[in-house]
Structure 1
Amino acid sequence: MGIIRGGILGGFRNKTGSVIGSSWRTLDVIKGLPKLSGKAPTQSQLEQQAKFGLVTGFLSWISNLVAVGYRSLSGVETEMNVAVAYHLKNAVTGVYPNYELNYGKLMYSRGKLDWPLEYSVATAPNASLAFTWKHEGEDYEFMSATDLVTVLVYNPEKDRFVRLVNAATRSEQELNLQLPVAFAGDTVHCYLSFKSTVRKDLVSSTIYMGQMVVLN
């Protein structure tokens, strides 16, 4: 049974006949019941399903970063939906069924906050990484000394992420990240981003800092 809200012209929720009413992100939504199909999926559908599974499976592990990093782009869509659409278009390589992600195209955040003009990452003993960036110039709308820094490292061999979220300010110009000792000898992918402390939806796009071999 459907329940009408706000009179006959208002939205409704639950099932009524062949439609379902619900509320989503302040919108009243009416959807038809899905139709069951006995047809086998087409080649195009199989390819899209494989790409979608690859991207969503990867991004689900960093959903907290995506929720912040795509907030300004989401509109009526969820942050994850916007991020998935970007990666389906830009970050999937290969031929079905052997799709892979181009880790250099990973963007857990996209925004207008300025990148530093110089940045780098270096390996250090005992499975640690040293991230550095240069901060100079006056604060303005898209750059502040108080911007918060997040670093992310992904190890494809072990399928593990390590992150430090809002762990330093732009003005500090450096951040050390301790990785698990078991990462020693593995190649990891490194990322850096900035988030404003003034506007909660203002972030930088993700900076891909390249691959590093972790030292013992």
Structure 2
Amino acid sequence: MGKYLKGILGPFSGLVGTVVGASWKGISVMRSRSVKSNRPATENQMKQRTAFALMTEFLNPIRDLINVGFQTYQKGLTPYNAAFKINLEKGITGVYPALTINYPQIVIGKGRLLAPPEFATATTTAARLDFTWVNNAGTDSTNGTDLLTILLYNPLKQSHVQAVGVATRSSQTYNMTVPAQWSTDTVHVWVLFVSFDGKINSESRYLGDMEIQ
């Protein structure tokens, strides 16, 4: 039942007839009452729902990382919603109903910090990934003091592993331990750099997929 606060021309809350009154950011708003449809969903609607579900399942576990990676790229949205919008547009592939995540197109960071250089990756030791790169920071940049973050995703286990702020850009090497139960699994790898104070970040870079020893 609705409640009048200042008469028919003033704000109100709840359902009154066919309209609903509410408050949004301190502003009184009114919208039409939603009506359930008995029509079956179209194939395009089902495709959109499936894509939403896939992206939600992938991004939800890494919300903290997304909040850093998209902290300065919000475009009027929250960092998570900005990341969701970008990845929904390019990060889904396949023909409905066989939709999957398009891993090379997934973005976990958008920022103005110097982009990550090319990385070399190796799996010479069991349950470990070895990363090497060249410090591409100049004297007018961070001098290589910004910190490396790595994201791994194991589709078979449907599990993410993060290594946050684990090495400076200037260190040019890092060895990452992964779960032992991931042996022989294939993982997808992304990297980005974040300033030492955590206030700015680079764009992320997809390094490809690798089989864990």
Same fold (TM over 0.5): yes
Residue 149 (structure 1) aligns with? 148
1:205 aligned partner: 203
Find the counterpart in structure 1 of residue 158 from structure 2.
159
Bigger Cα Rg: 2
Aligned-residue RMSD, C-alpha: 2.5
TM-fit CA distance, 1:72: 1.4
**Paired residues of 1:91 and 1:105 also in contact (CA < 8 A):** yes
Q: Which residue of 2 aligns with 1:102?
A: 102
Q: Does 1:55 align with 2:55?
A: yes
CA distance in 1, matches of 2:85, 2:148: 25
Distance 1:16 1:155, change over 3 A: same
**8 A contact 1:110–1:203 mirrored in 2:** yes
Equivalent position of 2:93 in the other structure: 93
Residue 128 of structure 2 is aligned to residue 128 of structure 1: yes
Q: Deviations over 1:67-110 (max 9, x none)?
A: 11112121432222211111121111111111011111111111
Paired residue for 1:111? 111
- Check 1:137–1:196 CA distance in 2 against 1; reply closer, same or farther (3 A cut): closer
> What is the identity, as a one-letter code, of the residue corresponding to 1:43?
E
Relative to the length of structure 1, the TM-score reads 0.84
Q: Give the AA of the match of 2:147.
A: L
> How many pairs are equivalent?
206
Change (3 A) 1:199 1:187: closer
Say whether the 8 Å CA contact 1:116–1:134 is kept in structure 2: no
Superposed, 1:65-80 pairs within 5 Å as: 65-80=65-80
Task: Supply the distance in 2 between the matched residues of 1:128 and 1:155 (Cα, whole angstroms).
Answer: 14
Question: Unaligned 5+ residue runs, structure 1?
Answer: none
Farther off after superposition, 69-78 or 48-57? 69-78
TM-score computed with the length of structure 2 as normaliser: 0.85
Counterpart in the other structure of 1:19: 20
What SS does the corresponding residue of 1:203 show, helix, strand or coil? coil
Residue 64 of structure 2 aligns with which residue? 64
- Seq. identity, %: 32
* Secondary structure of 1:166 counterpart: coil
Return closer, same or farther for 1:42/1:197 CA change in 2, 3 Å cut-off. same
Q: Give the CA deviation at 1:163.
A: 0.8
The 1:170/1:14 distance shift into structure 2, 3 A limit, reads farther
Distance 2:69 2:133 in 1: 20
Q: Which stretch shows the higher mean deviation, 115-124 or 145-154?
A: 115-124
